[in-house]
Amino acid sequence: MTKLNENETLVLENILKNLNAEEQTLDINSEKPLVYHKCHDQLSFVIDGNGFAQINEEVKEISRGSLILIKSNDRHSFMCKSGALTLLHVHTPKIIGEEDRYIEEDFSSKWKSILKWKKYIYGMIYH
């Protein structure tokens, strides 16, 4: 995982949008499945907001300018911290035809522990 400065962020955001990268916006109520791709690597880039990225067993905080490289078969998930988290995703080779997305868990067990911590600290209510 790499953190780009604001100028680098603007350049990469423009490049990825021109490449028709898939845009995903999450909020705190968004689903948080742990997924993987058998045949594709993934580049994910945060263009707005903050949250967490889980790659296999590692969880890192992410925010605007965070660049996340995910190898095929790496289990991964994203969670919004507050407000909205917007990411751009590029898969390589490009996914054509049947989608290469497999769900490992409907709700990452890592997120369960983070949400319990947030509920304790901030009094947030999660079901």
pLDDT digits (tens, 9 = 90+) for 28-69: 899 889 999 999 999 999 999 999 999 999 999 999 999 999
Burial group, residue 85, by CB count within 10 angstroms (0-12, 13-18, 19+): buried
Instruction: Please tell me the distance from the alpha carbon of residue 20 to that of residue 34, in angstroms, as a whole number.
Output: 24
In the chain, domain spans: 2-122
Q: Is the model's pTM score more than 0.75?
A: yes
CATH level 3 topology of 2-122: Jelly Rolls (2.60.120)
pLDDT, tens digit, 9 for 90 and up, residues 71-95: 999 999 999 999 999 999 999 987 7
Q: Judge contact between 13 and 47, C-beta under 8 A.
A: yes
